[in-house]
Amino acid sequence: MTLAADDRRLNDLPRAEQTAVERRDRMFGWLIASPSLGLLFLVILFPVFWALYTSVHDYTLIAPNFDTFNGIDNYTKALGDPEFRHTLWLTAFFVAAVVLLEFALGFLVALMLNSVERFKAIYYAILLCPLLMNPVIVGLIWRMFLHPSLGIVNYLLSLVGIDPVNWLGSTKVALWTIVMVDIWHQVSFMIVLLLAGLSALPREPYEAARVDGASALRSFWHITVPLMLPVIAVTLLIRLIFAVKTYDLVYIMTRGGPGVATDLVSYFIYRTAFVGLNIGEASAMSAILLAVIMGLTVWLHRYMRSLT
């Protein structure tokens, strides 16, 4: 019998066969977890259920009551709304771009930092700076930097003879600008997590691989990547979920514009709720978003599991 099978057997033991010690451990576990469970219920589960309840009612800020039950009307309306569908696709694109680029860049920098021996702390401190900033501040700073005529970015480009770019005002460029600023802000998160993973890797398998005849690239592919998969999975997941929620940057820098070029779904839901005052439909959209994120999470988790 394998070890894993042994573990499973312990957990599947019927209650009567558990020892007193096991029962006491279990009770104690519940006891120390209960305050945080209570808090979680209050600040997370309750709002989620409230939103789900709202999403099946005709609840607006003009008539804020649950008098009219309208079933899945809010959902069909939301899904039938081309603007909502546009924001969903736009968000999907944004998330994919941000997560993949940040991951690639982050892994590269983490690998480099992992082999650095001197001044590691200094690099670390510099890298962490953006992460410590509030997204609103980041948005404001970059809006200034990227100002078409007064911003430093266009000035610097002019020095090397490049024409000014309308960073936030052009429908073609604006989304990529947001992507770029988000990378600037969040890539350190990837670096820090991946670096922690890398420095926790055992040294011995690399030595074995060197003697076995592996080049640096092969060691990376056959040892680093497989050993890092759990860390990679978690990093991608967290970043993915956070990227879907991106709201502050858009709000500060473009308000979803120009036109609907940067109208990410969180910002659109916010507008539906507090500009359109339609809380019911906004709740339905949130529920759809929640379902999508949960689906993605489960899929990514399973996929990574299947690799290891």
Give the nearest distance from C-beta 218 to other proteins in angstroms.
7
Give the nearest distance from C-beta 108 to other proteins in angstroms.
22
Q: Is 134 exposed, middle or buried (0-12, 13-18, 19+ CB in 10 A)?
A: exposed
207: helix, strand or coil: helix
CB 193 within 8 A of CB 234: yes
Binding segment toward other proteins, per CB under 8 A, in 64-72, 126-134, 222-230, 287-295 = 222-230
Binding mask 227-246 for other proteins (x = CB under 8 A): x-------------------
207 binds other proteins (CB under 8 A): yes
Q: In this complex, which beta carbon is closest to other proteins, that of residue 1 or of residue 62?
A: 1
The answer for residues whose C-beta is within 8 angstroms of residue 243's C-beta and 6 or more apart is 94, 95, 98, 99, 182, 186
214 binds other proteins (CB under 8 A): yes
- The phi, psi pair for 68, rounded to 5°, reads -105, 110
The full 3-state SS of 3-16, as one line of letters, equals HHHHHHHHHHCCHH
Q: In this complex, which beta carbon is closest to other proteins, that of residue 7 or of residue 83?
A: 7
| The binder of other proteins chosen from 122, 204, 217, 275 (CB under 8 A) | 204
Q: How far is CA 296 from CA 203, 277, 304, in A?
A: 34, 29, 12
Q: In this complex, which beta carbon is closest to other proteins, that of residue 158 or of residue 215?
A: 215
Query: Which residues in this chain contact other proteins in the complex, by CB under 8 A?
Result: 2-4, 202, 204-205, 207-215, 218, 222-223, 226-227, 308
